[in-house]
Amino acid sequence: MIVELGHYALVLALALSVLQTVVPFVGARTGDTRQMAMAPNLAFAVFAAIALSFGVLTWGYVASDFSILNVWENSNSQQPLLFKFTGVWGNHEGSMMLWILILSLFGALVAFFGSNLPPSLRAMVISVQGLIATAFTGFILFTSNPFTRLSPAPLEGQDLNPILQDVGLAIHPPLLYLGYVGFSVCFAFAIAALVEGRIDAAWARWVRPWTLTAWIFLTAGIAMGSYWAYYELGWGGWWFWDPVENASFMPWLAGTALLHSALVMEKREALKVWTILLAILAFSLSLLGTFLVRSGVLTSVHAFASDPTRGVVILAILVFFIGGALILFALRSSTLSNGGLFHPISREGALLLNNLILTTAAATVFVGTLYPLAIEALTGEKISVGAPYFDATFAPLMIPLLLAVPFGPLLAWKRGDLFGAAQRLYVFAGIAILAGLVTLYLATGAPVLAAIGVTIGFWLIVGAFAEVWQKSGLPKAGVRTAMARLSGLPRSVWGTAFAHAGLGVITLGIVSVSAFQEEHVLRMAPGDTTDLSGFSVLFEGMEPRQGPNYTENVATFQVSRDGKQIATINPAKRIYTARRMPTTEAGIHTRGFSQIYIALGDPVEGSNQIVVRLWWKPDVTLIWFGPILMVIGGLFSLSDRRLRIGAPVPSARRRQVLAAAE
């Protein structure tokens, strides 16, 4: 009965989504205020219906109701409660439910916070959101219904995929989807602007918090996914350039570009057309990611063709939204007026360079991810595009961008002074180069490339705070004056500083772990000791243990240095009872920013030895601390005063001034 209620709520959500699409749209086009005023309530209603439906599915999982096919396929009564709960989105149907739950949440949030928007713009944005909700709710109901029943109900479920039985699943997909789907708001704003034919600095100011929110979640989601893969998959890699990762990385690149170009539009009313296009692209790439991950096309074009229903429907949705948006863009973008002028060497110019490189990077990832599919579809030949390709193309693109980052905030709007900026940065450059030289000195025989990498990392970190430093007036101004000035700075300045510094922190982590990591693969018997980067690691032995829904063999390693015991590390090999599936649980000990990482291989036949893989990963955690800094930066920017006050006062004054000047 409860399950039918959830099913009914989902059908209701589809019907309400259609209303949410049609009524506000008609209202906005005909100027009917009553119809426009219905938009927020419809958005709330759709959210309520989907939330109810999602809640029922969650109940099915928590209560282990195996009469629901989806629960039977992906859950088990022995699973810990957390994994019963997260199992809801650990499968195709459930993850699509999470997708539309978040989509409708954003729709409701726009309705809730949108009271300062012009009514027709708000109605139009909510209408576009409704159209997306209609498409995906329909997709779920007609091709991926999570409420399909089984009769008679089996006694026990088939268990969640063991690799997914981890806290990571509780955090990673929701964060990632909040990011992915968050860009739907930017998309809706872009479509609304194109339909309305009006776009100005105020538009950019309204879109900015949504872009920032989506970007913050996506950044956190990708970083979290990277750490999850790092400790769960057991071979110590943190980024694999896997198509699924690329699917989330492309919207991030486009979203980062959007964040920067919207800044130009907000301040200077320039790059309007381009910003609209980026808003469309960011969400289009999110849709593409959904398609790639959900259609099975990645395994092979043929796997996709063997069960094409879902894939074809998502592809149709993809073509409809992306194609429709681009056609609308082509038809209407010429009506948008051009904005302010600027010199190539200026803040705008720097942001344009950022956009050029980020979108080229996104295009590279896009082509690299889809090339094998295209080649297979066109010629039938199979090729692979993997990590070595992306390393070879992505890194050279990023280096000029990273070098340019500290200059950006120091250049003035309209016409900047590159020489002046360089003069203000040379101390920071000196610090960075010094750091590189110290690296060469400390790590004798360090590759020159590593020293250059360290220099770039430090350049980004100290350079990020150049603007703050300059504005503080230090060292000339007294400490007290400086503090007063700093506390008076707009929060977005701090946001920029933290986010850019985060980029430097990531760079340091990547360089350090790729240049200085140590790896040992060897056979060890209980009692054996091995050296790892100055540590002594003793293998004590293995013992079996019984988990809630798995059995495991846990190894104990004692790590010591100069005879002093430091840590105990317990990697394990597990067998999940329901699926008989083995997994490797890495043992990790964190020291400062570095980690000792131990994973177990196979027992050696005919002996008491086991293959052990040990890594010393220097500064590896910086790779994930960097994104945390970026998220903090994003939050600072989000809390900036100018995003909280509704009325864009300076723009209004600017118009008066312009009117007076004419």
Partner 1 sequence: MRRFLAACALLLVTATAAYAVNPDEMLDDPALEARARTISEKLRCLVCQNQSIDASDADLAHDLRVIVRERLTAGDTDEQVLDYVVARYGEFVLLEPRFSARNMLLWGTPLLGLLLGGAAIIVLFRNRAGAAAATGLSREEEERLSKILADGEGSDH
Q: Which residues bind partner 1 (CB under 8 A)?
A: 234-235, 237, 240-243, 298-299, 338, 341, 344, 352, 356-357, 359-361, 363-364, 367-368, 371, 375, 379, 381-389, 392-393, 396-397, 414, 489-490, 492-493, 521-523, 544, 551, 553, 575, 580, 582, 584, 599-603, 611, 613, 642, 650, 653-654, 657, 661
How is residue 242 written in tokens? 């896997």
- Which strand (E) or helix (H) includes residue 130? helix 119-143
Task: Identify the bridge partners of residue 569 per DSSP, sorted by sequence position.
Answer: 557
In the bound state with partner 1, the residue whose beta carbon lies nearer, of 122 and 260, is 260
Shortest gap between Cβ of 405 and partner 1 (angstroms)? Answer: 17
Name the DSSP letter for residue 473: T
In the bound state with partner 1, the residue whose beta carbon lies nearer, of 438 and 521, is 521
- Burial annotation 417-427 (CB, 10 A radius, 16+ → b, else e): eeeebeebbee
How many of the other CB atoms lie within 10 Å of CB of 150? 15
Rounded to 5 degrees, φ, ψ at 622 are -60, -30
Shortest gap between Cβ of 630 and partner 1 (angstroms)? Answer: 20
Shortest gap between Cβ of 161 and partner 1 (angstroms)? Answer: 14
Shortest gap between Cβ of 417 and partner 1 (angstroms)? Answer: 15
In the bound state with partner 1, the residue whose beta carbon lies nearer, of 167 and 645, is 645
In the bound state with partner 1, the residue whose beta carbon lies nearer, of 152 and 544, is 544
In the bound state with partner 1, the residue whose beta carbon lies nearer, of 160 and 586, is 586
**What separation in angstroms does the CA of 560 have from each of 182, 533, 534, 538, 572?**
47, 11, 9, 8, 20
In the bound state with partner 1, the residue whose beta carbon lies nearer, of 335 and 338, is 338
Peptide bond into 40 cis (omega under 30): no
Cα angle, residue 315 at apex, residues 309 and 320 outer, rounded to 5°? 130
Shortest gap between Cβ of 195 and partner 1 (angstroms)? Answer: 25
In the bound state with partner 1, the residue whose beta carbon lies nearer, of 122 and 272, is 272
Shortest gap between Cβ of 599 and partner 1 (angstroms)? Answer: 8
How is residue 333 written in tokens? 């973008």
Kindly compute the dihedral angle of the four CA atoms of residues 253, 255, 261, 266, in this order, to the nearest 10 degrees: -160
Shortest gap between Cβ of 11 and partner 1 (angstroms)? Answer: 36
How many of the other CB atoms lie within 10 Å of CB of 655? 12
Cα angle, residue 439 at apex, residues 436 and 445 outer, rounded to 5°? 120
The rounded distance, in Å, linking the Cα atoms of 574 and 165 is 12
Shortest gap between Cβ of 157 and partner 1 (angstroms)? Answer: 19
**What separation in angstroms does the CA of 58 have from each of 92, 94, 138, 314, 578?**
14, 9, 20, 24, 21
Shortest gap between Cβ of 551 and partner 1 (angstroms)? Answer: 4
- Burial annotation 71-87 (CB, 10 A radius, 16+ → b, else e): bbbbbbebbeeebbbbb
* Sign of torsion over alpha carbons 134, 137, 143, 149: negative
